[in-house]
Amino acid sequence: MTSYSNVLKPLHLGFTTIRNRVVMGSMHSGLEDRFYHYPKLAAYLAERAKGGVGLIITGGISPNRQGWLLPMGGTMNSWGDVLNHRLVTHAVHKHGGKILMQILHSGRYGYQPFAVSASPIKSPISPFKPRALSDKQILATIDDYARAAYLAKKAGYDGVEIMGSEGYLLNQFLSRHVNQREDRWGGDIQGRMRLAVEIVKAIRAKVGEKFIICFRLSMLDLVHDGNTMDEVLIVAQALEKAGITLLNTGIGWHEARVPTIVTSVPRAAFVDVTAYVKQHVKIPVIASNRINMPDTAEEIIASGKADMVQMARPFLADPYWVNKTATGRVNEINTCIACNQACLDHTFKNQRASCLVNPRACHETELVYVKTKKPKRIAVVGGGVAGMSAATIAASRGHHVTLFEASHEVGGQFNLAKVVPGKEEFHETIRYFKVQLEKNAVEVRLNTRINREQIEREGFDDVVIATGVVPRPLKIDGADLPQVLSYAEVLRGAEVGHRVAVIGAGGIGFDVSEFLLKPPSQPQPQPLADWQREWGVDPHANYISEGGLAPAEVDLPYRQIFLLQRKTTPLGIGLGKTSGWVHRAQLKKHHVRMMRGVQYKSITQEGLWVEVDGIEQLLRVDTIVVCAGQESVKELMPQDTEHTLAKYHIIGGAKLAGELDAKRAIREGAELAAKL
Ligand code: NAP
Ligand code: SF4
């Protein structure tokens, strides 16, 4: 067993010690912006501190109104703010954690009319054109940062993190991509970094020596006219001289067209960039992006590539990540699968964040699993993620749970998803649930297709129907021909030809297209060098290109694919806000022909007959894969519960196939189990 001694080693900063090398990185939870949410925010962060994390960094808090991400966003500029934040710092300190408040000025990413920037250039991801800050306004902004840090100290924070990456205000000043000023705040790198450096100096002067100042520096901009590595090093060294305590890694602007955190990005893909910067400074450096499991974290620290590892989403997925690592229970970690579906996708829709695999995240005071005083006998029918969520939580509360699964394995639809290239993390969720089933003594009966009479005969108190879905069949002439396959058959390994029509362009149509684009011999997960080549990322840690971009090289697709839908809207419009663009870009790069407004006519030996814009045409394909959604399987759910002895409940895809999604399935399982 690996001891993880490097990642668990304390970090001494002279005036203070962080108990291990693990940082919970900044992530907006949606609880930072309203004072009445602070008790919930405190409970959410306290649980992570209790779980052993060394250092927590809050979601971004603005130093002034121009810096708001959204109207009335969380700000630190008054004594009232100090009182709210004290709830948070006390809660974290009670459990031995340290906490920094992140000061984030959104600059031109602000979704509000007061947005400002280095130059008046609108970002592609916000409708508001920013005003360029005047010299006087820049000086006032520096004062606002210093005041926010001073107030953070009064609120009990151990320090602040200054957000200088991901394309926010300070990054906008640092890079030519937005900074086109000709005054002392622009021009060469000395001018462009002046604002960041002056902010650090002003904060240090205001808060004294014994207060952590962490700077999150964009080490790889991934946008055109971004900084070169030489420029990044000049900034890092100047910040060190100005008085920062820790240097954190930022990768890619939000508007970059290279994915940096989605599940298809290889684990620890950018750590060599951090390692290179670390060689040029003396202060501790933090690595980030796609680090989610202890082996990766340990390797980074042990190899000396970084002094700390930062994870944000993995702490939504499992608050006890560190304690489990420290006590030899790594296989109990609920791994973040980097799907973004309940965290960042919520944030970007202005909803409270949570986690697909852990619906308690950011709902710690509302979704509570208490030990039951009246243990019941509960049957859960269906071993997909909805069923396993219900079974494991009900059992952890003290109920006696039996899980019936018709197939030879648990996992349901996740067993299909895990074979899609870039979705290898789904294996981890299945592993997590299997361990939980065993740990909580759930009796699992595989290969058991139970019927109502058997359920009733066994005398359960409650029965949870989580029987999931089956693929919706296609109903046109020729749909029964052997070259017509369901997505489930394809993902289970059915033979597929080289010219393929995929019917249905929802999440699964996209997944299946990506699965078919790559030859079966393609290694999974994708090797880092292949991924960098495909997405145009300079593979050299000391890159000399601007922004670390390189020309992308895409292999010829293994198959020719037509992806079709009946709707006339653009394909993939309903995919996740923060990951959908990656899937669309991937298919486009591989020349998938996307067709909308398609009417399916018939299937013959020649291929698929369709009508588009009133014109009938033949798509000469040798395989047709049906990804036309699902239908619920719910025969076991009684129509009339008057004559049943047990109390029946229905969750997940069995309840509603139309919106089949894992986030809802796991949450419904958890919410039901919390109440049983
Ligand atoms: P879906 O998103 O509902 O898509 C089903 C597709 O089938 C639609 O494109 C629909 O488009 C088409 N369709 C529906 N009825 C049809 C019919 N009778 N004949 C022909 N086409 C028909 O479902 P899904 O792709 O199966 O995904 C299921 C769930 O998994 C979704 O909730 C999704 O969120 C989730 N998921 C997400 C991802 C991701 O975000 N990457 C990946 C996998 C799964 P038209 O009606 O326009 O033809
Ligand atoms: Fe990770 Fe997905 Fe949970 Fe976000 S929703 S924390 S990406 S598992």
* 285-306 confidence digits (pLDDT tens): 999 999 999 999 999 999 999 9
Q: What is the pLDDT of residue 348?
A: 87
Can you give the CATH number for the domain in which 465 is found?
3.40.50.720
Main-chain dihedrals φ then ψ at residue 500, nearest 5 degrees: -130, 140
Name which residue sits closest to atom 28 of ligand 1, judged by CA. 660
In this structure, what token pair is assigned to residue 517? 């684009």
Pair (135, 96) in one structural domain: yes
Pair (20, 101) in one structural domain: yes
Residue with the two structure tokens 């005083």: 373
Counting ligand 2 atoms within 8 A of each CB, the residue from 24, 341, 424 with the most, and so the one to mutate, is 341
CA distance linking residue 242 with residue 505, whole number of Å: 52
* 180-216 confidence digits (pLDDT tens): 999 999 999 999 999 999 999 999 999 999 999 999 9
* 562-605 confidence digits (pLDDT tens): 999 999 999 999 999 899 999 999 999 999 999 999 999 999 99
Q: How far is the CA of 358 from the centre of ligand 1 (A)?
A: 24
Sign of the C-alpha dihedral computed for residues 292, 294, 299 and 305 taken in this order: positive
In a domain, 447, yes or no: yes
* 331-374 confidence digits (pLDDT tens): 999 999 999 999 999 998 889 999 999 999 999 999 999 999 99
172-176, 240-244, 515-519: which has the minimum mean pLDDT? 515-519
Pair (232, 259) in one structural domain: yes
Domain stop point among 298, 328, 347:
347
Name which residue sits closest to atom 2 of ligand 1, judged by CA. 506
Is a pLDDT exceeding 70 seen at residue 659? no
Q: How far is the CA of 332 from the centre of ligand 2 (A)?
A: 17
Q: How far is the CA of 359 from the centre of ligand 2 (A)?
A: 10
Is a pLDDT exceeding 60 seen at residue 1? no
* 17-47 confidence digits (pLDDT tens): 999 999 999 999 999 999 999 999 999 999 9
Q: What percent of the chain is predicted at pLDDT more than 90?
A: 93
In a domain, 311, yes or no: yes
In a domain, 369, yes or no: no
Pair (239, 123) in one structural domain: yes
Pair (642, 618) in one structural domain: no
523 pLDDT tier (thresholds 50, 70, 90): confident
Q: Considering every ligand atom shown, identify the ligand nearest to the alpha carbon of residue 579 and give its number.
A: 1
Pair (612, 645) in one structural domain: no
* 303-322 confidence digits (pLDDT tens): 999 999 999 999 999 999 99
Overall average pLDDT of the 497-522 stretch: 95
Is a pLDDT exceeding 90 seen at residue 661? no
As for ligand 2, residues whose beta carbon falls within 6 Å of it are 313, 316-317, 336-343, 355-357
Q: What is the pLDDT of residue 2?
A: 67
Pair (510, 570) in one structural domain: yes
Domain stop point among 612, 628, 644:
628
Q: What is the pLDDT of residue 660?
A: 57
CA distance linking residue 660 with residue 669, whole number of Å: 13
* 228-269 confidence digits (pLDDT tens): 999 999 999 999 999 999 999 999 999 999 999 999 999 999
Is a pLDDT exceeding 80 seen at residue 163? yes
Q: What percent of the chain is predicted at pLDDT more than 70?
A: 99
* 404-457 confidence digits (pLDDT tens): 999 999 999 999 999 999 999 999 999 999 999 999 999 999 999 999 899 989
CA distance linking residue 63 with residue 151, whole number of Å: 10
Query: How far, CA to CA in Å, does 141 sit from each of 103, 132, 158, 554?
Result: 12, 13, 22, 44
Is a pLDDT exceeding 60 seen at residue 616? yes
Q: How far is the CA of 468 from the centre of ligand 2 (A)?
A: 22
Q: How far is the CA of 355 from the centre of ligand 2 (A)?
A: 5
Counting ligand 2 atoms within 8 A of each CB, the residue from 24, 311, 340 with the most, and so the one to mutate, is 340
> What three-state secondary structure class fits 455?
helix
Domain that holds residue 622: 484-518+558-628
Q: Considering every ligand atom shown, identify the ligand nearest to the alpha carbon of residue 29 and give its number.
A: 2
Pair (491, 571) in one structural domain: yes
In a domain, 236, yes or no: yes
Pair (640, 624) in one structural domain: no
In a domain, 355, yes or no: no
Can you give the CATH number for the domain in which 266 is found?
3.20.20.70
270-274, 369-373, 449-453, 617-621: which has the minimum mean pLDDT? 449-453
The catalytic residue positions are 168
In a domain, 550, yes or no: no
Can you give the CATH number for the domain in which 622 is found?
3.50.50.60
Name which residue sits closest to atom 1 of ligand 2, judged by CA. 336
Q: Closest ligand 1 atom, CA of 575?
A: 40
Q: What is the pLDDT of residue 521?
A: 85
In a domain, 108, yes or no: yes
Task: Look at residues 353, 440, 341, 348 and name the one whose alpha carbon lies nearest to residue 389.
Answer: 440
Q: What is the pLDDT of residue 662?
A: 94
In a domain, 223, yes or no: yes
Name which residue sits closest to atom 6 of ligand 2, judged by CA. 313
Domains contained in the chain, number: 3
Pair (133, 102) in one structural domain: yes
Q: What is the pTM of this model?
A: 0.96
Pair (174, 46) in one structural domain: yes
HSE-up (13 A, CA, CB side) for residue 675:
10
- For 328, residues 6+ apart whose C-beta sits below 8 A from its C-beta are 1
Pair (211, 93) in one structural domain: yes
